[in-house]
Structure 1
Amino acid sequence: MPWTTALKSTARTGFTLQRAYNEPLRALRGAIGAGITAFGALLLGSPQLAASAAIGAFIAGVATFQRSYRPRPLLALAAAAGLSLSTFVGYLASPWPPLFVLVVGVWAFMGGLAWSLGPAAGVVATNTISAMLVVVALTENVPQALAHAGVIAVGGVVQALLVVVWPIRRWGAQRDALADAYASMADYARRLRHDPFAGFDPDPLMAARNAATVTRRQARNRPAELRGRRGTMERMRPAMAALADPRVGAAEEGPERDRAREILGAAAEVLDAVARAIRTGRPVEVPERTYRALALRSTGPVLAGAARQSGLVLIGLLADTADSLESPGGDGDASAPLGGLSRPSVHELLPVAAHAVRRNWRWSSPVLRHAVRVGVVAAVGETIGMLLPFGHGYWAPLTAVMVMRPDFSQTYSRGVGRIVGTVLGVVFASVVIWSAAPNDWVLTALAVTAIGGAYLTILTGYAAMSACIAAYVVFLLAMDSNGLVSTAEERVGQTLLGGALALIAYAVFPTWQTVRLPDRLAAYIEAGGRYAAAAVAAFGAPSADSYRAVREALLDHRQARAELVTATGQAADEPVRHRGLRNSQLSGARSAMAGLGRAALLLEAHLPPLGDGEPVPGAERFAAVLRQETARAAQAVRLGQPVDLTAVRLQYQAWAEELPDPDEDSTDPRHLVARDARFLVVALEGLQQALRQDRK
């Protein structure tokens, strides 16, 4: 889209305020932690020390609000450690302005690289830069610098202790993630009743998988109702799809279709009840009529063949889930034969972090480009702030660093929201100080109130949260006798300057997702081919290893799809044209790949139980060709060359001639795999047709 349209769209997003607030008790808990630290430092130390204590407690509290499944106390302590280190290192370099500018730039670069570890790490690392810029101005010697670093660490410890002694919805994030996944499965069942080919969003399942990844200590304390549920849920989706699909399941019309709809409707009710039970920790409450609907004629003549098999599998999985929640027990995550999912502990994180950084240490990586961009902007902003005749020149680099994100849409929308919110917060706080002339204790109370407002409005919008953050910073700095040397006009001017630096930097040195779309689509095609090939190969060599390979390929397929969806959404807001792919090609390719995913899902649903199936001859040979040709097609997309998948169709035709003629009502694996593989071929022909258009 044109630059003017893109800027209008992102600006509108930045101004948007949602009618959503954080949990008031959590916001109150965070504000109390900041208040304890700030008032304690003011009582025992000085106003400057109280300001540092409040900053440390606030940022440590922000870390506990990030979307992370690690223990909240650990997040607060990690943030406090980073803040303490950054402020002390910044002070050591502050006597030499050129060295301090270099340290700020390098620290910002390292903070940018932290995004390779995830958004939570990126946000916390960004906040350490802001602490370095602000707290350094409050210290005058090494003992003071150590004292300020110490009270910042104390702020994190206080927040961590409050989380421990005042737990609010313990394991709430994990409960919500798993409950959302069950609710999404219930919604899928309802949509299948009316649309047998309804699409499915796997994002809730991916979130549930992340939530189920725990440290050893978490695994020992995890509630029983969060153990071993996700794997059972994952196996429901193929059974639902196979039951609803008229090509392999219930007939399109008639008694079979009515029975399939009845089972799917009852499944949705059970899954909703399970979601409520997991979210609240209460027993499952399923109406008796729902159980009767599932049991009614479930083994009778209404459903036959593969449809009956899929219905029985689904009913059995639903019963297992409800029964396990009624009598919770067991340990680990029963997600197929993979076993439990282990999250690295603190001492195991270093090699994981190093691997993540190495993976992004290439010029095409958005994370590395973001790190370079934010490092240069922080150094330039700090240099300009030093040259300006103001007492608080850090407002420009502070704003720039807090605004910048690895993608265009977030940087520009947050930039607009940050600028507007900061201006409003600065003006409001300055007016309050000038009109009321509050003492240090009142200023501390006002700062703590603003901190509580920032916690409360995290979900409301970046402009609202930025206004609260700006107000709390002004209130804290006003506790210094020189705190108002920098006027509101100067603060606003530097905020505008910092925002402009961030926006200009992205325009000059962008990271466009648009130009990465061919690579993202190629990765999606390759992952989809591996998933389909693994499912076919499992018929040729049914074993625990081949079934595990199907599961792993499915996870890779979901991840590749999620990355393509994210990149497509970000590219839609960018002011550049598609290079190598037109919108119509991308849309057609995604539709064809969705069909490939559905076909692979049917294959997965029809895999015989371990030990019950005989190898299907020729399946592994066809799977090898399928894997090879989809990889070749993916490389053609990357290079902008024509895609030719004819070899898959020819190999399927040769293979089909070796197998018995498909019987629509048969549950013989040879019939099922031949029938389902035909849908793979049709989907790949659609992909070839979608990408055969003239590329521009």
Structure 2
Amino acid sequence: MSRPTARTGDRRPLTLPPWLAHTLRAQRGPIPWSAVVRGALAAGPLLLASVLLDRTSLGVVAAIAAMLAGINDRPGSRRTSVRRLGVPALAGAGGLLVGTYAGAHVGAVVLTLLLTGIGLLAGGMSAVGPVASGAGTQLLVASAVGAGMPVPEAGWLRALAFLAGAGWLLALRLLLPTPGATAGDFRLDGERDAVAAVYDAVAELLDAVGTEHANARRVALTAALDNAQDALAGPRLRRYASSSAERRLHAQYAAALPLAEAATALAWAGDAVAGRASEGPRRLAAAVRENTHTGPLPAPHRSAPALRALDDALLHAADAFDQGEGADLHTRRRTAMALFRTAFGAGGREYGLRVALCFGASAAVAQALHHTRWYGQHAHWYWLPATAVFLVKPDLGPLASRVLNRAAGTVLGAVVFAGFAALLPRPEGLIALVAVSGALIPVATRHFAAQTAVVTVLVLALVMVGGEPQASVSRIGETLLACAIVLLVGHLPMPGQRGGTVRARLVAAGGAAHAYLAHVLDEARDPMAGPDSRATRWTLRREAYRTLAEAHTAIALAAAELPALARHSEGADDVVAILERLVDTTTACAVQLDDSGRLSAHQRRQLAELVGQFEKGRERTGLRLPELPLAV
């Protein structure tokens, strides 16, 4: 008798636990060749110059700074690179200065307490955003390096060398043209690509209206708008805003906002639109990239409010492209008080405490081992706390994922370097290895294990160029010890409510959704509101979608932690989903208001239903979120 076989439909696909799936996940995209060139021209040439000038130790410091800046050298505009690379470099130079003088003048206990305090400050600061996180990372790493790295020069000279290394990479970022950037001033290529991507994202959302892909395309549109907002928000490249070129880009970005609003309203309605509706945004995207005129734009049908809004937005965009004038809506304004609350609020406090405990504990263990014979004469005790920094910071990824990738990447990098060290001539071969590693960093940042392997090779090469013996075994041992410390300390019970980072992001998203909904309801009560009210609405809509995206990111990272940590954020994704539907509905209502001056009874019922769902979710999760306006 034959055995019954299970039906194919009964088989469930094998799914990995979230923490393991995140470990294996890598980013995709084209190779950033311009960043690869900058990486090759950064740390290696700096190190070569220092060897030729007989100031090798300062060259090692400058190369470390260039390496850290290279990790932050991500795609984007030149103006944003000033902040993305410059602010962390200043923080790193300050940390190197403090660490150097503390390491030379205080004992091990006081030094450990000082590093713990720096960890608390840097951790809270890192909760503010990506640039602040990069600054916190370099502050911590440089303070540990300054306290433990044997460099004969004075602290102020080390800090200057650090700034010189990061400044060299920043100069390359600002001055070198991007390959293929031929549309006008090459210094605006990043801004131009970011604005063009917004119009492409609008077109893709219009193509997906009425399909299962519409929500994913709307999320992609939010990401494109966030990227363009950041690309245009940095310092001016010229004193007078580059005359027409920069003003034109600002106008083109502002013209995309009503298009995005109309496309979102169409996606909310769910009725498929004709294919010609997406042709206009695609032609606008090509005009931005090529820095040309738009030419004639195909008009969509005007059979519904959102289609009429789309048509009006296309006409407005064509006019803005020709005149180069538009409202300056790109700046994301956050007050100093708001930043302070983020850094020292619930999320910042939990973040800072977690970083401080791991950084301080690893520094204490490292110094205790440093004074034992077992640890050896050539120990680099600062490697232990510096490694812990890259493992413990919550915004850099789930703890378990980073620990596994760090361990695997360090072992791989150390083994590869040991092979090269046995074959390459010194120091010229090692300097070439530093240059090659610097070139690989922009590609390796797509996966933390690959990035760790490349950085390990680079750091070990710097150590040998500095006159110390090969240290692959020591690097592996200290990394594994740091992984164990971070896993242990990171899962210890902590005072207060866990999941503070997720809760802080939810509070911000709830507040932004509240402000957006309240403004649209005010417009419904006052149909005579002018263009200033509409501009304010677009700014509030941008902030609502942006904070929702940040909340999604925080929740995804928290969900990929081990269950002991992931459980503290359960239910948060349901609240964000309700807020997302509410903001989409509010956008559709805003388009309806522009078309008819009033909200339909159906739209009011939907708003009221979503507000009620939000209140239930708020009570169920115990989150202290702002109450939404009930008079809808």
Does TM, normalized by the shorter one, top 0.5?
Answer: yes
| Cα distance change on mapping 1:492 and 1:193 into 2, 3 Å | closer
Cα distance in 1 for residues equivalent to 2:565 and 2:149: 48
Partner of 1:455: 442
Cα distance in 2 for residues equivalent to 1:107 and 1:694: 33
Partner of 2:626: none
Alignment of 1:562-577 (within 5 A): 562-574=549-561, 575-576=563-564
1:529-557 CA-to-partner distances (Å, cap 9, x unmatched) read: 55334322212223246545644543453
Q: 1:382 aligns with which of 359, 363, 366?
A: 366
Cα distance in 2 for residues equivalent to 1:38 and 1:241: 52
SS of the equivalent of 1:220 reads: coil
Matched, 1:318 2:318: no
Contact 1:11 1:416 in 2 (8 A): no
Cα distance in 2 for residues equivalent to 1:72 and 1:523: 26
Alignment of 1:131-142 (within 5 A): 131-134=142-145, 137-139=148-150, 141=152
Matched, 1:165 2:190: no
What displacement does 1:38 show? 1.1
Partner of 1:269: 279
SS of the equivalent of 2:390 reads: helix
AA partner of residue 498 (structure 1) = A
SS of the equivalent of 1:596 reads: helix
Cα distance in 2 for residues equivalent to 1:226 and 1:570: 34
Cα distance in 1 for residues equivalent to 2:481 and 2:285: 48
Cα distance in 2 for residues equivalent to 1:560 and 1:77: 25
| Cα distance change on mapping 1:214 and 1:688 into 2, 3 Å | closer
| Cα distance change on mapping 1:109 and 1:543 into 2, 3 Å | same
AA partner of residue 418 (structure 1) = R
Matched, 1:125 2:136: yes
Matched, 1:469 2:469: no
- Please say which of residues 227-236 and 594-603 is displaced more in the overlay: 594-603
What displacement does 1:220 show? 0.7
Q: Percent of pairs identical after alignment?
A: 21
Contact 1:381 1:498 in 2 (8 A): no
Matched, 1:205 2:225: yes
Alignment of 1:277-356 (within 5 A): 277-278=287-288, 280-283=289-292, 291=298, 294=299, 303=303, 307=304, 310-325=306-321, 327=322, 329-330=324-325, 333=328, 335=329, 341=331, 352=336, 356=339
Cα distance in 2 for residues equivalent to 1:120 and 1:681: 38
What displacement does 1:145 show? 4.1
What displacement does 1:124 show? 3.8
| Cα distance change on mapping 1:691 and 1:131 into 2, 3 Å | closer
Q: 1:406 aligns with which of 365, 390, 394?
A: 394
| Cα distance change on mapping 1:507 and 1:546 into 2, 3 Å | same
What displacement does 1:606 show? 2.5
Cα distance in 1 for residues equivalent to 2:214 and 2:468: 67
Partner of 1:227: 250
What displacement does 1:28 show? 1.6
Partner of 1:102: 113
RMSD: 4.0
Partner of 1:418: 406
| Cα distance change on mapping 1:690 and 1:113 into 2, 3 Å | closer
Contact 1:15 1:416 in 2 (8 A): no
What displacement does 1:474 show? 0.9
1:264-317 CA-to-partner distances (Å, cap 9, x unmatched) read: x22312212322333x3343667x7x62xx27xx57xxx3xxx2x543332232
Partner of 2:6: none
Partner of 1:503: 487
AA partner of residue 589 (structure 2) = L
SS of the equivalent of 1:127 reads: helix
Partner of 2:606: 679
AA partner of residue 329 (structure 1) = G
Partner of 2:125: 114
SS of the equivalent of 1:83 reads: helix
Cα distance in 1 for residues equivalent to 2:82 and 2:581: 44
Contact 1:515 1:578 in 2 (8 A): no
Contact 2:97 2:155 in 1 (8 A): yes
What displacement does 1:240 show? 4.2
AA partner of residue 38 (structure 1) = L
Contact 1:239 1:605 in 2 (8 A): yes
What displacement does 1:453 show? 1.8
| Cα distance change on mapping 1:455 and 1:364 into 2, 3 Å | closer
Cα distance in 2 for residues equivalent to 1:177 and 1:534: 28
Contact 2:414 2:473 in 1 (8 A): no
Matched, 1:531 2:542: no
Contact 2:261 2:587 in 1 (8 A): yes
Matched, 1:85 2:106: no
Structure number with larger C-alpha Rg: 1
What displacement does 1:83 show? 3.4
Cα distance in 1 for residues equivalent to 2:26 and 2:212: 35
Cα distance in 1 for residues equivalent to 2:98 and 2:507: 44
Partner of 2:162: 152
Partner of 1:25: 34
Contact 2:261 2:591 in 1 (8 A): yes
Q: 1:41 aligns with which of 39, 47, 50?
A: 50
1:509-537 CA-to-partner distances (Å, cap 9, x unmatched) read: 57987687778667656654553343222
What displacement does 1:439 show? 1.6
Matched, 1:72 2:81: yes
Contact 1:177 1:208 in 2 (8 A): yes
Structure 2: runs of 5+ lacking an equivalent: 1-13, 182-186, 623-632
Matched, 1:446 2:433: yes
Report how many aligned residue pairs link the two structures. 585
What displacement does 1:560 show? 4.5
Q: 1:396 aligns with which of 384, 393, 408?
A: 384
1:5-51 CA-to-partner distances (Å, cap 9, x unmatched) read: 99964345334455556412322223212223211111112433332
Matched, 1:51 2:68: no
Cα distance in 2 for residues equivalent to 1:692 and 1:130: 41
SS of the equivalent of 1:171 reads: helix
SS of the equivalent of 2:251 reads: coil
Contact 1:139 1:145 in 2 (8 A): no
1:196-246 CA-to-partner distances (Å, cap 9, x unmatched) read: 986732343333333332435567136344212233322224434556777
Q: 2:194 aligns with which of 147, 166, 177?
A: 177
Partner of 1:624: none
SS of the equivalent of 1:55 reads: helix
| Cα distance change on mapping 1:564 and 1:157 into 2, 3 Å | closer
1:600-620 CA-to-partner distances (Å, cap 9, x unmatched) read: 223211234xxxxxxxxxxxx
Structure 1: runs of 5+ lacking an equivalent: 253-259, 345-350, 609-666
| Cα distance change on mapping 1:132 and 1:543 into 2, 3 Å | same
Cα distance in 2 for residues equivalent to 1:558 and 1:669: 24
Q: 2:69 aligns with which of 38, 60, 64?
A: 60
Partner of 1:430: 418
AA partner of residue 270 (structure 1) = G
SS of the equivalent of 1:133 reads: helix
TM-score, normalized by length of structure 2? 0.79
What displacement does 1:192 show? 1.9
Contact 2:100 2:155 in 1 (8 A): yes
AA partner of residue 432 (structure 2) = A
What displacement does 1:369 show? 3.1
AA partner of residue 382 (structure 1) = A
AA partner of residue 539 (structure 1) = A
AA partner of residue 99 (structure 2) = G
What displacement does 1:174 show? 2.9
| Cα distance change on mapping 1:19 and 1:561 into 2, 3 Å | closer
Cα distance in 1 for residues equivalent to 2:237 and 2:151: 42
Cα distance in 2 for residues equivalent to 1:35 and 1:118: 30
1:137-182 CA-to-partner distances (Å, cap 9, x unmatched) read: 55465x4544433333322332233233313253344334323322
Cα distance in 2 for residues equivalent to 1:398 and 1:517: 26
- Please say which of residues 70-79 and 152-161 is displaced more in the overlay: 70-79
What displacement does 1:455 show? 3.1
